[in-house]
Amino acid sequence: MNNLIKALTILGKYTDSEYPTGCEHDVLYVYVSPDSVSGEDILMLANLGFDIDEDIDCFYSFHYGSA
């Protein structure tokens, strides 16, 4: 749980969307464009289980999603 909170705190710096997440097929998506995220934060997110989805321009994780 703590790692998820850390990841969302990082991603929260890059969006003010009221609904920045989605979950389907055991994948948690956070709709923040990786282009707007610093390289340091991208590395931290990778260590917390988040990868970049280049097709829909966001971050995703199989660690926290469940449908």
Whether 14 contacts 37, CB under 8 Å: yes
Closest listed residue to residue 57, CA positions, set 20, 22, 27, 32? 32
pTM of the model as a whole: 0.92
CB atoms under 10 Å from CB of 60, counted, come to 20
List per-residue pLDDT tens for the chain, 67 residues long.
999 999 999 999 999 999 999 998 899 999 999 999 999 999 999 999 999 999 999 999 999 866 5
Q: What confidence score (pLDDT) does residue 6 get?
A: 98
User: Which sequence spans correspond to the domains of the chain?
Assistant: 2-61
